[in-house]
Amino acid sequence: MSVYQNENLILQLTFDFSLNVMRFCDKLQEAKRFRMADQLWRSGTSIGALVQESQNAESKADFIHKMKIAGKEGDETLYWLKLCKLSEGYPSDDTLLDQIISINKIINKIISTSKRK
């Protein structure tokens, strides 16, 4: 389901990613990996919130700043997902890993393009 009809791709990608992170965090909770679930929930869902917030930035510098923070949250999310994948007894999700790698690349491209304009 597209929540962001006719809007930019990064909004939809990060929203969908947040939903997927929420579902994965439920699996972590079921596996009694509460700390990891909390960390991943915070970083994974904040990416989309920051991208959404950047859409109403007060200036180009503010937009770039918000997108940079989203990028940092994306990097942190990648870290937690890699830990899950490589830790014994933790659920993992290769689709989430692929999604966050793509999202991080798009965010970095948006930042570099915005700096040049």
Taking the domains of the chain in order of start, what are their residue ranges? 9-116
pLDDT higher than 90, residue 8: no
Give the number of other Cβ atoms within 10 Å of residue 16's Cβ: 17
30: which 2 tokens?
A: 């079921």
pTM of the complete model: 0.92
**pLDDT tens string 63-99:** 999 999 999 999 999 999 999 999 999 999 999 999 9
According to CATH, the superfamily of the domain at 9-116 is 23S rRNA-intervening sequence (1.20.1440.60)
**For residue 54, what pLDDT is reported?**
96
Q: What is the DSSP letter of 7?
A: S
- Residue 2: which pLDDT band, with cuts at 50, 70 and 90? low
Model pLDDT for residues 23-70, shown as the tens digit of each residue: 999 999 999 999 999 999 999 999 999 999 999 999 999 999 999 999
pLDDT at 1: 55
- The more confident residue out of 93 and 1 is 93
Alpha-carbon gap, residue 47 to 67, rounded angstroms = 9
